[in-house]
Structure 1
Amino acid sequence: MKKRSIKNTRINEEVHRELSNIIRGEIKDPRVSSLCSVVAVEVAPDLKTAKAYISVLGDEKAQADTMEGLRSSAGYIRKLLASNINLRNTPEIQFILDQSIEYGVRMSKMIDDLNQGN
């Protein structure tokens, strides 16, 4: 596996920060949950594509609606990203549902339940 360059790491962090701000403050789509957060962003070295890992707290319907809302407004998000970050290319964003936080909360609850039983 190739080691990430410092430049790529900085770009990932900057896109992550701006994407979080855009989703929190600029997206007016009612399908996008207010309990939605950007967990991580991986921008390809050629700056053509980016994978945004999104965590949504709520039931499966809220998660599906939020992901659909984000995918439908991807062009608008990309346009805002281009105006906020000065990059050679503005990456095309692929939204991926990340359930690791929800999984961690569920495992923690199961461990607590086991400890209560003893």
Structure 2
Amino acid sequence: MARKPAAAKMPSQRQLRAGEIIRHALADILSREDLRDPDLTGIIITVGEVRCSPDLRRANIFVTPLGDDTDEGRQKLADALTRAAPFLRGRLSREIDMRFTPELRFIADKSYDEATHIDRLLADPRVKRDLQQD
């Protein structure tokens, strides 16, 4: 019997668990380490999500600077963290108990903008009028 092709394969429980372990460890490392990159000094970093590859060798980390909602600020942060990725990977290897420490790839997180946009749409008086029950 032929297998049905999966349109969008969901991450496994193992990938989700590894992503959360990495997210917590990275948030801890970024909060206590003094990174020497001038683009990272004085910035509070939010690690929104970590998505691991099925073999757990790569991790896409979605980051955003707290208080800076511009695309340029987010991209500048992601580029600076990418430059610091080998250092962060070394620190991460001491924090987590995994067979391999994944290769880190930092991506600017735009999900907060999307959530703000949806909140604005729902707060629109025309939408509120349609949502009210008679």
Instruction: Flag whether TM exceeds 0.5 (same fold).
Output: yes
Structure 1 residues 11, 109: closer, same or farther in 2, change over 3 A? same
**4+ residue runs over 6 A deviation:** none
Q: Is the 8 Å Cα contact of residues 57 and 102 (structure 2) preserved in structure 1?
A: yes
Does residue 52 of structure 2 align to residue 43 of structure 1?
A: yes
Deviation of 1:55 (Å): 2.3
Query: Taking CA–CA contacts closer than 8 Å with sequence separation of 6 or more, which of the two structures ends up with the larger relative contact order?
Result: 1
Secondary structure at the residue paired with 2:76? Answer: helix
Match of 2:22, as an amino acid?
A: V
- Overall identity of the aligned pairs, in %: 24
* 8 A Cα contact 1:31 1:68, kept in partner: no
Cα contact 2:79–2:106 (8 A) shared by 1: no
Larger Rg: 2
Q: Is this contact kept in 2: 1:24–1:34, CA < 8 A?
A: no
Match of 1:69 in 2: 80
For residues 63 and 5 of structure 1, do their structure 2 counterparts lie closer, same or farther at Cα, with a shift above 3 Å needed?
closer
Unaligned 5+ segments in structure 1 are none
Structure 1 residue 86 corresponds to structure 2 residue 97: yes
Q: TM-score scaled to structure 2, two decimals? A: 0.72
How many correspondences in the alignment? 116
Structural RMSD (CA): 2.4
Larger helix proportion, structure 1 or 2?
A: 1
CA contact (8 A) 2:47 2:64 kept: yes
Q: Describe the superposition over 1:59-81 as per-residue Cα deviations: whole angstroms up to 9, x where unpaired.
A: 33322321121011000000001
CA distance in 1 between counterparts of 2:117 and 2:45 reads: 18
Aligned to 1:97: 108
Change (3 A) 1:109 1:93: same
